[in-house]
Amino acid sequence: MADVQLAGITKSFGGVTVIPGLDLKVPDGSFTVLVGPSGCGKSTLLRMIAGLESPSAGEIRIGGTDVTDAEPSDRGISMVFQSYALYPHMTVAQNIDFGLRLAKVPAAERATRVAEAARILSLEPYLDRKPGQLSGGQRQRVAIGRSIVRNPEVFLFDEPLSNLDAALRTQMRVELAQLHQSIGATMIYVTHDQVEAMTLADQIVVMKDGRIQQVGAPMELYDRPASEFVAGFIGSPKMNLLPGRAIERDDVKTVGIRPEHLHIADDGQWRAAAKVVETLGADTIAYMDAEGLGEIIVRLPGHMRLKAGERLGLSPEIANLHYFGHDGHRMEHVA
Amino acid sequence: MQMLNTRTPRPARRFWHGARSSRLTAIAILLPPGLILFSLFVILPLTESGYYAFFDWNGYGTPEDYVGLRNFERIADHSVFHTAVGNTAKIIAVSLFIQMPLALFLALLIYRKTPTNALFRLIFFVPYILAEVAAGLIWSFVFDGNYGVTASIARSMGQESFFILADRDWAFVAVMTVIVWKYFGFHMMIYIAALQGVPEDLIEAAKIEGAKRPQIVRYVQIPQIRPAIIVSAFFAIIGALQVFDVIIPLTNGGPSNQTQTIVTYLYSFGLTRLKIGFGSAVGVLLFLAAILVAVFYQRLFMKGSRP
Ligand SMILES: Nc1ncnc2c1ncn2[C@@H]1O[C@H](COP(=O)(O)OP(=O)(O)O)[C@@H](O)[C@H]1O
Ligand SMILES: [Mg+2]
C-alpha cells in the first residue's frame, strides 16, 4: 500500500503551461477523485503520476519513493483508460494475463491470479472471448481486471465510466466502490462528473485551469465550498449563486444558496415566478425567475404541486447561505 | 480484396422494397460504362491472348497455324523458363523475408509525425517514385565495373574491379538488391499508415503493464497492423511475378539468361523474336499463376472480418 505525494508539479507543452506548480497528498488507501471541467489538466496530472508524461518540474513520490523519473511499470501503479485500451487481438484471459506474462510470473501463479480477477469481476464466462465480442460494461471490467491482477499499490482511472450509458454507469460506480473497499488500495480517479466525485470519493480534489481549488471530503466541499467555482461545481442541481444585493450587502460579490435550502413563504424576501417544474418523484425541482436576481433553482418536496408561471415568495435558510468576496473566495464570519 | 470493403448493413425490408426500382435505375446507369471499359481493356485482350497461345503466329495477319498445346510444351521443356521461374521465386522470397522486415523496421522508426520523420519518409520513398527504367539505369552505372561506385569501392579496398552484372553467380543478387531498394518504400508507407492508426492508448497501456519497446512491437503493434502486412505481402508477391522493367536496363536478362524473370522471358522469347503465340502462352501461365495466388491468398489470409 502506498500514498502519493506531488510537490511543485509543473507541466508545460511547448510554451503553454497547463499545470503551474501543484502540491497534493493522496493518503494511503484513499479513493481520491480529481474533478474539474474538461481541459483543466486532470488527465495530464494523472498521466504524470502514471509516468506516461514527465513533469516539467516537481517531484512525485509513491509510497515515499521518488518515482519522478521511473518507468511506468516500476511505479507500482496500474491504469484504466477511458477507451479501456484492451488488445483486440487477445482474448479476455490474455488481456488480463498480459502484464503477468511480461513480468515472467510462473504460469501456475498466473492462472490462479487471472481466475481470481475473473471471479471478482464476474468475467469467468467470457475469458475466451475477444474484447470485440463484449459489451461496454464487460470491456470495462476486463480493463479493471487487467489492473487488479498485478496487485498494484495505486490504481489510476481516467474517466473510466464516461463511455457507458447512465444505468451501467451507476452500476459500475457501485462496483468500483466495492472493489475499493475489498482491496483497500489507493485509488486516484479522474472525472469531470461531480456526481461520480461525490459518490465515490473519500477525498475530492477540485481543479480548474491546472490549479487545485479545494481538497476535502465530499460533504466538506458540499457544506463549505472554498470558492465560488467549487460552490457552483459541486452539487446537483447547482447551488444558486446570486448577486450580493440579494441580501443587501456590497462587500459580498456573490451569495450562494443550495436549492434545498430555499423554502416557499408568502412573506419570503425574494419574489419569483416558476418557469419550468420537474417532478422527480421524491423531489420537485422548480426553475424560477427571481425578480431582479435572475434564475433560481428550488428543491421542493415531491408532492408539492406548482404550476409554471405561478408567483411565490422564497425565503432562504440564513444559516446555509454561502458568501463569496470579490476575489471569488469564501468569506467567513459574515454576520 | 474483401477486407478493404466496408460491408454495408442490409437495409430494412420496407426500405429495400421502396428502393428497389431506384437501385435498378442506378445499376442500369452506372454499370455499363465500367462493364464496357473492363470488357474492352481486360477481358478482350485476355481472351485474345488465350486464343493466340494455341497458334504459331508472328503477330502479322490472322493466326492460322494452329499448334494445340505445343507452345506450352516448349515452355515446360525450356531451361531458361525454369531459371525464370526460379528467379521469380527468389524475388518473392527476398520480398517477403528481407524487403518487408526492412520496411517494417524503418516504418517503426519513423511512423510518428515529426518533421525529421517526414524528411526520412520522403527520402525512403524516392526510389519508389522513380521510373523503373531510370532506377535500372542508375544502378547499372553504380554497378559498372569501370566507372561505377562499386568499382571505386572495390579498387579502394585493393580489389580488382568487378563486373557484378556480368557475373553468372552474382548478377541476380545485384538485381534483387535493386528490387529491394526500389520497392521497400512502398511497403514502408503501408506500414506507416497502419502504425499511425494504432491507438496510442494501447501502447501506453502496454508500457504500464511493463512492456519494453520490442515487446510493444511484437505484442501490440504488429498484431494491430496485421491486415496491412497481409495486404503488403500480397502486393509483394503479385509485384514479384511482374518484375520486368528494372531488369531490362540492368542486365537485359543476361548474362546467359541468368537473370530472366517470367515477364522478361515472355518479352525476350515471345515479343522480340516475333513469336506472339509463344509469348501469349507465357502470358496465360503468368495470368493463371496470379489468379492462383489471389485465390489462395484470399482463402488463407483474408477470410472473415478482423476487428
Ligand atoms: N500532448 C499534449 N500536447 C499539447 N497540449 C496538451 C497535450 N496534452 C494535453 N494538452 C493540453 O493540456 C490541457 C489539459 O488537458 P487534459 O489534462 O487532457 O485535460 P482534462 O483531462 O482535464 O480534460 C488541455 O488544454 C490540452 O489541450
Ligand atoms: Mg481527460
Residue A280 has a pLDDT of 87
- On the question of pLDDT at B5 being above 50, the answer is no
- On the question of pLDDT at A169 being above 50, the answer is yes
The closest of B41, B118, B70, B8 to B277, measured between CA atoms, is: B70
Q: Does A150 touch chain B (CB under 8 A)?
A: yes
| Residues in A touching B205 (Cβ below 8 Å) | 79, 81, 85, 87, 146
High-pLDDT (> 90) share of chain B, %: 48
Cβ neighbours, 10 Å, residue B223: 17
Closest-CA residue of chain B to A47: B204
| A272 vs A289: CA distance, rounded Å | 5
Indicate whether A206 and A286 sit together in one domain: no
Indicate whether A15 and A158 sit together in one domain: yes
For residue B3, CA distances in Å to A286, B186, B198, B219 come to 55, 19, 17, 22
Range of lowest pLDDT (A151-155, A214-218, B8-12, B16-20): B8-12
Cross-chain CB nearest to B223 (options A85, A89, A146)? A89
Residue B62 has a pLDDT of 83
Give pLDDT tens digits for B43-73. 888 888 888 888 888 888 888 888 888 888 8
In a domain, A284, yes or no: yes
Contact B208 A89 (CB under 8 A): no
**Going by DSSP bridges, is the β-strand pair A31-35/A203-208 parallel, antiparallel, or unpaired?**
parallel
Residue B7 has a pLDDT of 47
In a domain, A200, yes or no: yes
- On the question of pLDDT at B18 being above 80, the answer is no
User: Mean per-residue pLDDT for A166-191?
Assistant: 91
Mean pLDDT score of chain B, rounded to an integer? 87
In a domain, A335, yes or no: no
Q: Which of A228, A249, A266 is the last residue of a domain?
A: A228
Contacts of the segment B241-245: beta carbons below 8 A, 24+ positions apart:
B241/B88, B241/B92, B241/B286, B241/B289, B241/B290, B241/B293, B243/B88, B243/B91, B243/B179, B244/B132, B245/B132, B245/B133, B245/B136
Place A267 in a pLDDT band, splitting at 50, 70 and 90.
confident
High-pLDDT (> 70) share of chain A, %: 99
Running DSSP on this structure, what letter comes out for residue B159?
P
Q: Which of A163, A198, A228 is the last residue of a domain?
A: A228
Residue A157 has a pLDDT of 95
Dihedral angle computed from the Cα positions of residues B72, B76, B77 and B80, in that order, rounded to the nearest 10 degrees: 110
Place B273 in a pLDDT band, splitting at 50, 70 and 90.
confident
Indicate whether A275 and A211 sit together in one domain: no
- On the question of pLDDT at A75 being above 70, the answer is yes
Into how many domains does chain A fold? 2
Mean pLDDT score of chain A, rounded to an integer? 92
Cross-chain CB nearest to B209 (options A52, A99, A132)? A99
Residue B275 has a pLDDT of 85
Contact A132 B307 (CB under 8 A): yes
- On the question of pLDDT at B12 being above 80, the answer is no
Q: What is the CATH number of the domain that holds A46?
A: 3.40.50.300
Ligand 1 mean position, distance from CA A53 (Å): 11
Contact A78 B208 (CB under 8 A): yes
For residue A120, CA distances in Å to A161, B49, B71 come to 18, 68, 72
Residue A131 has a pLDDT of 94
Indicate whether A186 and A242 sit together in one domain: no
Indicate whether A218 and A278 sit together in one domain: no
For residue B208, CA distances in Å to A30, A99, A100, A156, B121 come to 21, 8, 12, 11, 30
Indicate whether A83 and A189 sit together in one domain: yes
Indicate whether A138 and A41 sit together in one domain: yes
Place B14 in a pLDDT band, splitting at 50, 70 and 90.
low
In a domain, A334, yes or no: no
Instruction: Pick the ligand that lies closest to the CA of residue A44.
Output: 1
| Residues in A touching B220 (Cβ below 8 Å) | 87
Closest-CA residue of chain B to A149: B209
Pocket test for ligand 1, best of A10, A16, A18, A206 (most atoms within 8 A of CB): A18
Of A23-27, A298-302, B25-29, B134-138, the range with the highest mean pLDDT is: A23-27
| B165 vs B148: CA distance, rounded Å | 11
Residue A330 has a pLDDT of 93
Closest-CA residue of chain B to A82: B201
Query: Domain spanning B78-305: which CATH class is it, in words?
Result: mainly alpha
Indicate whether A250 and A188 sit together in one domain: no
Indicate whether A259 and A282 sit together in one domain: yes
Residue B61 has a pLDDT of 81
User: Mean per-residue pLDDT for A159-168?
Assistant: 88
- State yes or no: cis peptide before A237, omega within 30 of 0: yes
Q: What is the pTM of this model?
A: 0.83
Answer whether B90's CB lies under 8 Å from B259's CB.
no
| A89 vs B198: CA distance, rounded Å | 12
In a domain, A150, yes or no: yes
Indicate whether A224 and A241 sit together in one domain: no
Range of lowest pLDDT (A141-145, A270-274, B8-12, B263-267): B8-12
Answer whether A284's CB lies under 8 Å from A278's CB.
yes
Cβ neighbours, 10 Å, residue B255: 15
Residue A1 has a pLDDT of 67
Cross-chain CB nearest to B220 (options A72, A81, A87)? A87
Indicate whether A257 and A292 sit together in one domain: yes
Q: Does B198 touch chain A (CB under 8 A)?
A: no
Higher-pLDDT residue of B23 and B254 is B23
Q: Is A234 in the pocket of ligand 1 (CB under 6 A)?
A: no
Indicate whether A191 and A289 sit together in one domain: no
Residue B1 has a pLDDT of 38
Choose from A48, A74, A96, A98 for mutation: most chain B CBs within 10 A: A98
Q: What is the CATH number of the domain that holds A308?
A: 2.40.50.140
Q: What is the CA radius of gyration of chain B?
A: 24
Range of lowest pLDDT (B94-103, B158-167, B287-296): B158-167
Residue B307 has a pLDDT of 41
What are the domain boundaries of chain B?
A: 2-50, 78-305
Answer whether A204's CB lies under 8 Å from A30's CB.
no
Q: Which of A166, A198, A228 is the last residue of a domain?
A: A228
User: Mean per-residue pLDDT for B278-292?
Assistant: 91
Question: Could you tell me the residue range of the domain that residue A312 belongs to?
Answer: 237-324
Residue B156 has a pLDDT of 83
